Structure 1
Amino acid sequence: MKQRTIGGMDLRSAWLILIACAAVSMVVAAMAALNTALPQIAIHTGADAGQMTWIIDGYTLVLAALLLPAGAIGDRFGRRGVLIVGLVLFAIASLVAIWVSGPNQLIATRCFAGGAAALIMPTTLSLITSGVPRDRRPIAISIWAAVAGAGAIAGFLVTGLLLEFFSWRSIFIAFAISAAAMALLCLTIGTSKDRDPGKFDFPGTITSILAVTGVVLGLLEAPHRGWDDPLVLIALIGGVAFGAAFCLIELRRTDKLLDVRLFTNRAFGAGSLSVALQFFASFAVFYLYLQRLQLVYGFTALQSAFALMPMVAGTVIFGLLGNWLAVRFHSLRFVLASGILLAGVGLILLGAVDYDTYWQSIWMISICATGIGIATAPSTTAIMSNTPLDNQGIGSAVNDTARELGAAIGIALAGSILAAGYTSRIEPTADLAREQLTAAGQQRIAAGDTAGGQALIDAANEAADRISKSLAEAVEVIARLPADAAPLAQRLAQGAQGAFVAPMNQACVVLGSVLVVGSAVLFWFAPRRVIEANPVPSDIETSSDDDDAAPSTADEHALE
């Protein structure tokens, strides 16, 4: 009987891809979803600025730190089983978040959810690469990569829609229901695991967790504390030191968490660098552009999510075309370098071209998204095709860790430039608010309204301090000004927006320049083929007798 197919894909493989993509989109969406709900969360939980940051970053930090060992656990015990456990734990973490009352409790649930997400994310890709027929893997990876790239915007969209009708707790209810449903659906797919896992690498696991934790912690805290803050320096230096220790341990061990020699494979290394640069660009754009949409143009959370649809379209459409382009032009080097270059050009234009409305910026966002989309699938294909079949969970974890590190670096660099630029420009506006509110208070006192005038004078310093902190705080202060202070509100809005837009533009130019340099590195370093002559070190290469074995140079489906 002829097997039924969908677009050339057998039904079993299509169903596996659907389940895996749904799971990874939820994980990525959870990284971004709470950004739009933070004002509500702060009001209901009493979170201060630092706690608000960690409501977002706690998830990212734990996810990034546990990805490598979580990928190894999936390889060892079975990827489907680990995926189901991760989904169940994610659902529990989301349910617990519904009943928390304080910010620290919410941060704890977010860290718990990040640990669960670490079990989910690498298993989704490794199940695809080990469970989909070899000739269909490129399109399967393209679909996975496109969905993972657009997952954050899906998170913004769903969150914005929920907040239009419900409270912030509805976000966690939606995540809990989605995770539980996917855990049940995972019972319908097959599984795979490492045939000879060996001993678990505890020294490598510990050092990798400490290395990633240190680097990500330092990068996430740098925009708020400053790059010269002791905690930031200790975290970054300690993370690099533990990273070096991890490499030394892995070079000497027989049973490795990650064979670091894989990075000497140019396709694997170039794919990892390209993935990091893609998320460096995309999350920096989210961080900067969403603030401009909401705080300068006055978009709601839902409107902001819809405004990012051109980025979804560019990432998804060109994400599906990326592997085809690599085959058509016979060059991984060309596709990766040109994609990252295009994304860099889009970012530079976003900072260099003046625009006063959202509609004037769509074409620049689309250029950036197109570049990211072109490079997305070939990067992941290069990583997974050069990872032994039994270690697909580790290959997937490397891919995902590169994403998290790239996102953290992008947010940290964008945040630092924006914070420093805003602080250096906002003082005249803050002084104006202090002087005008004090003068208005004195006028009220002179007119006989002593209590009202004194209250206005007392609020003057607080208003100036809040305006100095961020554009979000400035917008809140301006919104609370009395109706008869409309001229002052307009001047303060112009000053605060100007103090924000200028450093945002600078940040876009700097970030885009980093991508342009990265594209040059990729053009020099990346090989022509996705699979190199010696795709994996000979002592860990898988058997060629297995139909699903890791590809070799003789693989007729390898990209030329």
Structure 2
Amino acid sequence: MTTAVPDSRIPEAVHRRRWAILGVLMLSLLIVVLDNSILNVAIKTISTPAPTGLGATQSELEWAINAYTLVFAGLLFTAGLLGDRLGRKKVLLGGLVVFGAGSALAAFSGSPGQLIAFRALMGLGAAFVMPATLAVLMNVFERDEQPKAIGIWAGGVGLAIAIGPITGGVLLDHFWWGSVFLINVPIVVLALVLMLWLVPDSRDPNPGRIDPVGVVLSVIGLVLLVYGIIKGGQLADFTDATVLATMGAGLAVLVAFVVFEKRSDHPSIDMNYFKNKVFSAAIGAIGLVFFALMGVTFFSVFYTQSVRGYSPLQTGLLMLPLAAAQLIFAPRARLVVDRFGNKATTTGGMLLIAAMLGAFTVLDADTPIWLLEVIFFLMGTGMAHIMTPTSVVIMQALPREKAGSASALSNTFRQVGGALGIAVLGSVLSTAYRNGIESHLAAVPAGVRHTAGESIEATLGVAAKLGPRGDALVGPANDAFLHAMHVTALCGAGVAVVGALVVALFLPGRPTEPQRGAEEQELVTASEQGE
């Protein structure tokens, strides 16, 4: 296995403009993250009947979110491989064009079905954007500057999380719901122009023969697995025969993928990478933290808007501390790692996330809102001290030429973890809510009783149609949702604790020299770690 390429490989002209290149990469990353954070505050508006929204049901809303996730997660790994082979700049440009076209089409969707289809197209474009940004970063920064650059890159995610809900709230206050997608188009155009001007192309100089069987197996396996997870969350029943069959088939195909890759003389990914316990623990930690966070942040929007009565713009402002903390601490997390090591920093971040998820259990309908702000800020702080060190470990554990594959693996675990979180914790939320509200739906007409128990939005929608008779449902709906939120948050906290144990056991402690010398040799390749 080849060692990392010396830093002198980076041309001087590229080295001089590396920070401008990082800015362009963050702009590309911004639109991918911005879109999902904008959509979170638009969910309630899209669920209202036309002409205000599309009248999307709870199930259709979940698919509008998950169609993006399904395609994104399914193609991330393949996109990373293509970037390494064809050139990261070309893949980035193509991904941005597809994402921009999907955004424009989604803005003018005439039905929930069209919105779901165009969100899937956006996921296709985003799959080629996300891994390429981090791969280009690794090829324009010298090794000693990579932790700082990755920290700033991770802080850009926090910036997007901050801008998204606020931008979405402003747009929904002044324009129709489709504006939350149309806003992506001018950003895409600006990113394309700057990328053509500033960003250099790079690729793996020795990619070897293409591995079509491995590529096909990875896509089919991931799509089937994520689809089964999403379907199980939608049905609130993971014992359903269709769900079990789909997830089982996905796992079987992924096992076949692993077996094939281990036996292939030209694998898409060298399975020896996973012999490196540090690499595997960092990848696993990312999956676990997004499992916990995605499921919980999904219901926080309903807590602020449905239970507390805040507008989309106010909800966006309330989420500002979560993003601000990431923006503040992500670029500085490397300093904490230099002093205390990856293990202490990441374990502390995971435990902080677990504690804040547990703190959701104290929230009720009249809790002072500043308490939620403190929880969000500390959650963002925990995220900053997880994402930066784990991203550095993952990206520096593989040779520079494999940067696209490393980034794609990291993002695949994150997306699959997030999809699992939304599906599994969403299922917990739905089941707990239905159990809590069911006894109060006796007065609701039999034809809409099942629908009314799907979610707090469904219950409040039925209550509004019933007029004065429906007023009696509002209090029980809030109580049932709060109880369901508490149960779900505790489940998320438990998953975060498992993540803390993983990183505490396997990530390295305090480095003797900050990522130089002997550590440079230790992190060159995972296969060398396995020998």
Q: TM-score scaled by structure 1?
A: 0.85
Which residues of structure 1 form unaligned runs of 5+? 1-8, 435-459, 542-551, 553-560
Q: Output the amino acid matched with 1:91.
A: G
Determine whether 1:535 maps to 2:516.
no
Q: Distance in 1 between matches of 2:87 and 2:490?
A: 45
Structure 2: distance between partners of 1:119 and 1:27: 10
* Alignment partners' CA distance in 2, 1:305 and 1:86: 27
1:260 pairs with 2:271 = yes
- Per the TM alignment, residue 352 of structure 1 is displaced from its structure 2 partner at its CA by 4.8
Distance (Å, rounded) in 2 between the aligned partners of 1:48 and 1:238: 28
Q: Give the alignment partner of residue 362 of structure 1, picking from 351, 361, 373.
A: 373
Query: Which amino acid letter does the alignment assign opposite residue 23 of structure 2?
Result: L
Which residue in 2 is equivalent to 1:522?
503
Q: In 2 relative to 1, CA 56–203 (structure 1 residues): closer, same or farther, beyond 3 Å?
A: same
| Deviation for aligned residue 1:47 | 4.1
- How many Å separate the matches in 2 of 1:521 and 1:59? 29
Instruction: Classify 1:535/1:256 alpha carbon distance in 2 versus 1 (closer, same or farther; 3 Å).
Output: farther
Counterpart in the other structure of 1:499: 480
Letter in 2 for 1:497: N
1:90 to partner: Cα distance: 1.2
**Any conservation in 2 of the 1:340–1:516 contact (CA below 8 Å)?**
yes
1:94-109 residue pairs with structure 2 within 5 A? Answer: 94-109=103-118
Deviation string, structure 1 residues 468-515 (Cα, Å, up to 9, x no partner): 221001222333454xx2xx5553211111111112101111111221
1:403 deviates by 1.3
Aligned equivalent of 2:221: 211
Report 1:85-234 matches (<5 A).
Answer: 85-149=94-158, 151-187=160-196, 188-225=198-235, 226-234=237-245
Shift of 1:297: 0.1
In structure 2, what residue type is equivalent to 1:511?
Answer: G
Return the letter of the residue paired with 2:381.
T
Checking the alignment, whether the CA contact within 8 Å between 1:352 and 1:509 is kept in structure 2 is no
- Whether 1:29 aligns to 2:41 is no
The 10-residue stretch of structure 1 (96-105 or 62-71) with the greater mean CA deviation from structure 2: 96-105
Matches within 5 A, 1:40-439: 40-42=45-47, 43-44=49-50, 45=54, 47-149=56-158, 151-187=160-196, 188-225=198-235, 226-329=237-340, 331-352=341-362, 356-431=367-442, 433-434=443-444
Rg (Cα) greater in structure: 1
Q: In 2, distance between residues paired with 1:503 and 1:406?
A: 21
Q: Which residue of 2 aligns with 1:439?
A: none
Q: Tell me the distance in 2 between the aligned counterparts of 1:307 and 1:527.
A: 36
* Per-residue deviation, 1:153: 4.6
Give the superposition deviation at 1:386: 0.5
For 1:415 and 1:31, locate their aligned partners in 2 and report how far apart those are by CA, in whole Å.
Answer: 17
Name the residue aligned to 2:453: 468
Query: Displacement of 1:105 after TM fit?
Result: 2.5
What secondary structure is seen at the aligned counterpart in 2 of 1:142?
helix
Q: Tell me which amino acid in the other structure corresponds to 1:390.
A: E
Asked if 1:18 is matched to 2:3, the reply is no
1:527 positional shift: 2.2
Q: Secondary structure at the match of 1:279?
A: helix
Is this contact kept in 2: 1:266–1:532, CA < 8 A?
A: no
Letter in 1 for 2:498: V
Q: For 2:416 and 2:523, how far apart are their aligned partners in 1?
A: 24
1:478 and 1:489 in contact (8 A); partners too: yes
Distance 1:100 1:509, change over 3 A: closer
How far apart are residue 285 of structure 1 and its match?
2.6
Which one of 499, 504, 509 corresponds to residue 490 of structure 2? 509
CA separation in 2, counterparts of 1:161 and 1:463?
A: 34
CA distance in 2 between partners of 1:26 and 1:252 (Å):
39
- 1:86: Cα distance to partner? 0.8
Contact 2:156 / 2:327 at 8 angstroms: preserved in 1?
yes
CA displacement at 1:290 relative to structure 2: 1.2
Q: What CA distance in whole angstroms lies between the structure 1 residues aligned with 2:424 and 2:42? A: 23
Q: Label 1:148 to 1:257 Cα distance change in 2 as closer, same or farther (>3 A).
A: farther
The 3-state SS of whatever aligns with 1:469 is coil
Contact map agreement 2:228 2:246 (CA 8 A) in 1: yes
Distance in 1 between the 2:354 and 2:346 partners?
A: 12
Offset at 1:426? 0.7
| Distance (Å, rounded) in 2 between the aligned partners of 1:150 and 1:499 | 34
Q: Give CA deviations for 1:509-542 in whole Å, capped at 9, x if unaligned.
A: 1111221122012111222357585435588x8x
| Matched letter for residue 507 of structure 2 | A
Separation in 2, partners of 1:61, 1:182: 25
Change (3 A) 1:247 1:505: same
**Post-superposition shift, 1:339?**
0.9
Shift, 1:53, TM fit: 2.2
Separation in 2 of the partners of 1:503 and 1:388? 46
Match for residue 477 of structure 1 among 462, 483, 490: 462
More deviation in 199-208 or 463-472?
463-472
Distance 1:340 1:180, change over 3 A: same
Question: 1:82–1:123: 8 Å Cα contact kept in structure 2?
Answer: yes
**Distance apart, 1:138 and its partner CA:** 0.9
Q: Per the alignment, in what secondary structure is the counterpart of residue 60 of structure 1?
A: helix
Q: Deviations over 1:266-317 (max 9, x none)?
A: 2211221222233223322311211100110011111111101111122222
C-alpha distance in structure 2 between counterparts of 1:510 and 1:280, whole Å: 10
Alignment size in residue pairs? 502
Is the partner of 2:251 in helix, strand or coil? helix
More moved, 124-133 vs 150-159: 150-159
User: In the TM superposition, what whole-angstrom CA distance separates every residue of 1:148-177 from its partner, at most 9, and x where no partner exists?
Assistant: 255345332222221110012212221122
2:350–2:497 Cα contact (<8 Å) kept: yes
Amino acid at match of 2:497: V
Q: Distance in 2 between matches of 1:532 and 1:524?
A: 22
Using the TM superposition, give the Cα deviation of residue 15 of structure 1 relative to its aligned residue in structure 2, in angstroms.
0.8
Query: In structure 2, the residue corresponding to 1:476 is in which secondary structure?
Result: helix
